[in-house]
Amino acid sequence: MSDEDLQLLPLDAWHRARGGRMVPFAGYAMPVQFEGIVAEHEWTRSRAALFDVSHMGQLFVSGEGAEAALEALLPIDLATLEHGALRYSLLLDDNGGIIDDLIVSRWRQGFYLVVNGATKRGDVDWMRERLPGGVTLELLEDRALLALQGPAAFAVLERYATGQWPLSALTFMRGGRFEIAGTAAWVSRTGYTGEDGFELSFAATDAERVADLLCAEPEVKPAGLGARDSLRLEAGLPLYGHDLSRETDPGTAGLAWSIASRRREQGGFPGHARIAALLAEGPARRRVGLSLDGRLPAREGAPVLNGEAEVGRVTSGGFSPTLGHPIAMAYVDSAHARPGTLLAIEVRGRMLEARVVPLPFVPHRYHR
């Protein structure tokens, strides 16, 4: 894809004016960094950073029967999802392969979904083909999505957010309608960094004003995709297209917890038969965390070995700024997936010792 074909974020000019280095990602020109990935990473862990994630798909599903129609597509129990609550779920194919991972929240008039940017068009097509008449799915293309992440996020947002409830009414995985200095926004206490934080969905035409307002606060700096990736890796959060794909199922990916128990028993979602069988027999491979000594990062695709035998592959890896050594996520044979197991990763012809460790690598600091 040439640069001319890239879509522009609502904050495109704002990013460029602030020195954002723009790269193609998910069909958009996006800032990979401003002052530097490690500095932005550390700033997010210690204060708060503003990420533009407007490339992500914001979907709205409504109409009579929307709840049942969504349950026919997702292994989620919407009966227990109250108004203002958010839940992680998976879009699955008929073989139980993961088409996308997403967050669902219940609004008064329907369901609001946030899906990955690179997969949003495919998701919309897939879902529309399967939704019954009377249920509509809109891709909300006129909305920006900004993530304010870090221990100072609450204090900063509280200065501007007004609404029916105080901002403190939102705990992790809850959302509500607020005004941010006059801009109507859907605010949820979520994120992709492992830190406390919020995601703000509002009219794209207000994006510059809100970004300026938040970044004028002394605790806030803009951050790019690079820091977003190193933060989510430390937080043990999978990245679709790397750690998750149509070739991985929820059990293997360590995401079986996202399949509601009622749905496991009753089924009625794509892939149920295969997933039930896989869960009963236990996955042959598992997504694990690997911790490495030294400084040489192991990256996606690197073979994981037990002695001479290849027992897995790295799906994402990099240097952890917080821990000061490389970390990686990999799929390995279940026999070698127990924390503490010593394995090796082949990087540039040399064997790096790697230890299986529990995820996340860096503890989550969500406000529950």
Partner 1 sequence: MTRFFTEEHEWIEVDGDSATIGITDHAQSQLGDIVFVEVPKPGTVLRKGQEAAVVESVKAASDVYAPVSGTVTEGNTAIEDNPALVNSAAEGEGWFFRLTLSDPTELDGLMDEPAYRDFAASQG
Tell whether residue 317 is a contact of partner 1 (CB under 8 A).
no
Does 33 contact partner 1 by CB under 8 A? Answer: yes
Residue 24 engages partner 1 in binding (rule: CB under 8 A): no
Q: Which of 107, 319, 365, 366 binds partner 1 (CB under 8 A)?
A: 319
In the bound state with partner 1, the residue whose beta carbon lies nearer, of 108 and 350, is: 350
Residues 220/18, Cβ–Cβ less than 8 Å:
no
Quick one: CA torsion of 318, 319, 322, 327, rounded to 10 degrees? 60
Give how far the C-alpha of residue 3 lies from the chain's centroid of Cα atoms, to the nearest Å: 25
Binding mask 322-351 for partner 1 (x = CB under 8 A): ----x---------------------x---
> What helix, strand, coil percent values describe the chain, rounded to 5?
25, 35, 40
> What is the rounded CA–CA span in Å between residue 157 and residue 271?
41
d(CA 233, CA 243): 10
Q: What is the pattern of x (binds partner 1, CB under 8 A) and - over residues 200-229? A: --------------------------x---
Q: In angstroms, what is the minimal distance from the CB of 35 to partner 1?
A: 10
Per CB under 8 A, the segment of 29-37, 68-76, 281-289, 351-359 that binds partner 1 is: 29-37
How far apart CA 106 and CA 150 sit, in angstroms, is 25
Give the residue from 206, 171, 201 showing the smallest Cα distance to 186.
201
Q: Which residues contact 67 (CB under 8 A, 6 or more apart)?
A: 78, 111
Alpha-carbon distance of 298 to 316, in angstroms, equals 8
Can you read off the two tokens belonging to residue 158? 């509280």
Minimum CB distance to partner 1, residue 66 (Å) = 41
Q: Does 3 bind partner 1 (CB under 8 A)?
A: no
In the complex, minimum distance from the CB of residue 193 to partner 1, in angstroms, rounded to a whole number? 15
The one segment of 102-110, 120-128, 198-206, 294-302 that binds partner 1 by CB under 8 A: 294-302
Member of 297, 305, 336, 362 binding partner 1 (CB under 8 A): 297
Grouping H, G, I as helix, E, B as strand and the rest as coil, residue 50 is strand
36 near partner 1 (CB under 8 A): yes
Q: Which stretch binds partner 1 (CB under 8 A): 169-177, 184-192, 277-285, 315-323?
A: 315-323
Sequence-ordered list of residues with C-beta below 8 angstroms from that of 166, at least 6 positions apart, any chain:
158
* SS3 call for 132: coil
Query: Considering CB under 8 A, how many residues would be counted as binding partner 1?
Result: 18
- Minimum Å gap between C-beta 16 and partner 1 is 12
Alpha carbon distances (Å) from 331 to 50, 303, 344, 358: 31, 10, 13, 13
Residues numbered 63 to 122 that lie near partner 1 (CB under 8 A) are none
Complex with partner 1: residue 110 or 226, whichever CB lies closer: 226
Q: Site for partner 1 (CB under 8 A): which residue of 6, 29, 30, 37? A: 37
Q: Which helix (H) or strand (E) holds 176?
A: strand 175-180
CB of 50 to partner 1, least distance (A): 19
**32 counts as binding partner 1 under rule CB under 8 A:** yes
Smallest distance from partner 1 to CB 300, Å: 11
Give the pair of three-digit tokens for residue 199: 């995601």
Residue 78 CA to residue 99 CA, distance in Å, equals: 20
The residues that touch partner 1, with contacts defined as CB under 8 A, are 32-33, 36-39, 226, 230, 294-297, 299, 318-319, 321, 326, 348
